[in-house]
Chain A
Amino acid sequence: MSAKDKIIRLPNKHLRQRSRRVGLVDPAIQKIIQDMTDATLDWEDSRAHELGVALAAIQIDQPLRIVIIRNNFDNKSDRTFQVFINPEITKYEGDVVEDFEGCLSIADIYGKVPRHEKVRVKALNAQGKPLRLTAKGFLARVFQHEIDHNNGIVFIDHIKDNQDAFYKLQEDGQLTPLDYDKDIRTNSLLW
């Protein structure tokens, strides 16, 4: 079994469950973090036109509030991540902007999702030390997407009534609009 096979995908119901807080950052938690990193990179290596930029623990079927976020969103050769345990958004700021995002748990579908431009986050780092930060732009989007996972929300839930927000990733890497009525609304894999 390769590392990426640990990743669960819709219609797996676990993706719509809330994850629980992490108490102590012990070796078992460290192992889960390592598995998350391995799964993301292994998944990326199997994909021609995508980067795995972040993962939440529930995506490898561990219902714990752990998120890993890539240090570089554009360079595949930078394979390092930052760990955020029990992350919480303490404040939303800025405008709501739409941009494309995809999910390792939803194959080949991208969505134009409205997100806040800026968020303040508090969390614990990999050593269990508290930290606070302000995230802007794409990083703010990533935090909102991943913290949603901890709460059992996937990105398509935000756009489920928006006919023009769904795109398919083609084999050549282009995103083309999906037929909402045919591919999305009645797709039992998604809802």
Chain B
Amino acid sequence: MTKTSEPIVFFGSGPVAAASLAALATEFTIEAVITKQSPGHHHGPVPVNELAESLRIPINFANTRSELDILMGSSSFKSRLGVIVDYGVIVSAKVISTFPLGILNSHFSLLPQWRGADPITFSVLSGQHESGVSLMLIVEALDEGPLLSQEKLPLPPDITTPELTQKLVTLSNTMLLRDIPKYLTGELKPYDQPAIPPSYSRKLTKDDGKLHPMSETAEQLEREIRAYADWPKSRLSLGDTDIIITKASVAERSGTPGTLTAENKELFLYCSQNALRIERLKPAGKREMSASEFLLGHRL
């Protein structure tokens, strides 16, 4: 005798959501996908949308909390569980309660560390040696829900946000496929987040991409370059042109904070402590290049 696997409703909109949906769809019946409508001016790919269409999963749109309330109020899904990854809409308690087993979120940090919108970037920025994934049942309060499982991942000192995202997606997918069935059968029980002081991440703004060598140490700036590698990237103004620094390291030397010097074909930016050795950069409107290539054509 056979039975169909339990259906679940998936909420998500970004690229990480698409990667999670692709994995979930291999094991579960996705009753519906709830995602954001891409804005009219947006012409890029909408990964979740495209994937759901190719898998022939019904798609519903909700861009805000109130739209989601209306959508869920007028739908009757038979799924006992919702799964939410990378959605970007706050979910009301009313919507959460429409699922008898709640809504499960894969959050890319070791909660209660880095609650909020951008845990991955803040993990890189903090210089911590360990990150991970938490499976949590969401509550209305931001990222404060009980956990179902948590797994750690060591962070190499040179990791960038895009690289870490990739690793965490892989870990998250393994955990989702392993732990959702255990939760459905009651084998896995929710437990409180560890009682340690929480930390909070936030959405980045374009301004976060400005480097401040006068007030920050070279170590901090080097982390920013790795943390902001995807967006907003790390910029420095050189008089009339901007450069984006894509790779750098910390050099133990001192000089006047904020000055940029070329020494032996190497490019140094002096910071409030030590200097940043700029290894690769992208001048505005040009391709990415090494510091020595840049110095061939640019007089400081």
Query: CA A138 – CA B6 in complex, angstroms?
Result: 14
Given contacts A172-B30, A174-B31, contact A74 B181 (CB under 8 A): yes
- Interchain CB contact under 8 A, A53 and B3: yes
- Interchain CB contact under 8 A, B27 and A76: yes
Across-interface contacts of B241 in A (CB, < 8 A): none
- Interchain CB contact under 8 A, A75 and B187: yes
B7 located at the interface, meaning its Cβ lies under 8 Å from any Cβ of chain A in the complex? yes
- Interchain CB contact under 8 A, A72 and B2: no
Across-interface contacts of B4 in A (CB, < 8 A): 49-51, 100, 102, 110, 169, 173, 175
- Interchain CB contact under 8 A, A50 and B31: no
- How far in angstroms is the closest Cβ of chain A from B217? 47
B178 located at the interface, meaning its Cβ lies under 8 Å from any Cβ of chain A in the complex? yes
Chain B residue at minimum C-beta to C-beta distance from A138: B3
- Chain A proximity mask over B182-206: 1 for CB below 8 Å, otherwise 0: 1011010000000000000000000
Query: CA A155 – CA B178 in complex, angstroms?
Result: 32
- Chain A proximity mask over B9-33: 1 for CB below 8 Å, otherwise 0: 0000000000000000111111100
B243 located at the interface, meaning its Cβ lies under 8 Å from any Cβ of chain A in the complex? no
B75 located at the interface, meaning its Cβ lies under 8 Å from any Cβ of chain A in the complex? no
- Chain B proximity mask over A73-92: 1 for CB below 8 Å, otherwise 0: 11111000000000000000
Q: Kindly identify which residue among B25, B31, B181 contacts A77, using a CB–CB cutoff of 8 Å.
A: B181
Given contacts A72-B185, A74-B181, A74-B184, contact A101 B30 (CB under 8 A): no
- Interchain CB contact under 8 A, A51 and B3: yes
Q: Kindly identify which residue among B3, B26, B29 contacts A174, using a CB–CB cutoff of 8 Å.
A: B29
A104 located at the interface, meaning its Cβ lies under 8 Å from any Cβ of chain B in the complex? yes
B295 located at the interface, meaning its Cβ lies under 8 Å from any Cβ of chain A in the complex? no
Q: Report the interface size for chain A: residues with CB under 8 A from the other chain.
A: 34
Q: Report the interface size for chain B: residues with CB under 8 A from the other chain.
A: 23
Residues of A within 8 A of B (CB): 47-55, 72-77, 100-104, 110, 138, 141-142, 145-146, 155, 169-175
Given contacts A75-B182, A77-B181, A173-B30, contact A53 B1 (CB under 8 A): yes
Chain A residue at minimum C-beta to C-beta distance from B25: A48
- Interchain CB contact under 8 A, B1 and A76: no
List 26 interface pairs A-B (beta carbons < 8 Å), by A numbering: A49-B5, A49-B29, A50-B4, A50-B5, A51-B4, A53-B3, A54-B1, A73-B3, A74-B5, A74-B181, A75-B184, A75-B185, A77-B181, A100-B3, A101-B1, A101-B2, A103-B1, A104-B1, A141-B1, A169-B4, A172-B55, A172-B57, A173-B7, A173-B28, A173-B29, A175-B4
- Among A49, A50, A101, chain B packs the most CB atoms within 10 A around the CB of A49
Chain B residue at minimum C-beta to C-beta distance from A173: B29
Chain B residue at minimum C-beta to C-beta distance from A107: B2
Across-interface contacts of A173 in B (CB, < 8 A): 4-5, 7, 28-30
- Interchain CB contact under 8 A, B5 and A76: yes
Query: CA A52 – CA B6 in complex, angstroms?
Result: 13
- How far in angstroms is the closest Cβ of chain B from A159? 14
- How far in angstroms is the closest Cβ of chain A from B3? 6
Chain B residue at minimum C-beta to C-beta distance from A47: B2
- How far in angstroms is the closest Cβ of chain B from A61? 17
- How far in angstroms is the closest Cβ of chain A from B177? 8
- Among A75, A110, A169, chain B packs the most CB atoms within 10 A around the CB of A75
